[in-house]
Amino acid sequence: MVEWTDFERATIKDIFAKMDYEVVGPATLSRCLVVYPWTQRYFGNFGNLYNAAAIAGNPSVAKHGKTILHGLDRAVQNMDNIKETYADLSVLHSEKLHVDPDNFRLLSDCLTIVVAAKMGKAFTGDVQAAFQKFLSVVVSSLGRQYH
């Protein structure tokens, strides 16, 4: 089981309570598709992903970005049980979506950067440590059912 300090719990709840999903979701996914272009392999039916501007303006990317970000809500609400909470999602990503689990790490790095840009100075080293710890638990849980 993951041990969370009071500071870590409060930090994660706070970040997600103030999260602007409509902006952060699309920004994170589009950044990931630009910075790590091989991730586009999973979105063949999303239409125009030819350049950064196209990706940023793509409605399918925006919609899916929000979906992914809201997917983190269950982990935020079940921080003591993330592994079990994401068991089904892990199977889905492995068996149906066939997503290389390294992509979870790439996306979480992009999310960290987008959140950092939004929070500015408030995103201190300690806050970043808590946020990255949370995301690494999520990433690990999502990769757990792969075989």
Binding site for other proteins (CB under 8 A): 30-31, 34-35, 52, 55-56, 109, 112-114, 116-121, 123-126, 128-129, 132
CB of 123 to other proteins, least distance (A): 6
Of 121 and 147, which has the nearer Cβ to other proteins? 121
- b/e string for 3-41 if b means 16 or more Cβ within 10 A? ebeeebeebbeebbeebebeebbbbbbbbbbbeeeebbe
97 vs 129, which CB is nearer to other proteins?
129
Q: Give min distance, CB of 38 to other proteins, in A.
A: 11
- Region of residue 98 (phi > 0: left; psi between -120 and 50: alpha; otherwise: beta): left
Rounded Cα gap, residues 67 and 71, in angstroms? 6
Cβ 50 to other proteins shortest distance, Å? 13
Beta strands, E only, 20-146 = none
Closest to other proteins by CB, 27 vs 93, is: 27
CA-to-CA distance for 49 and 66, rounded, in angstroms?
18
Shortest Å distance, C-beta 114 to other proteins: 8
Pick the closer one to other proteins by CB: 37 or 73.
37
Separation between Cα atoms, residue 16 and residue 21, nearest integer Å = 9
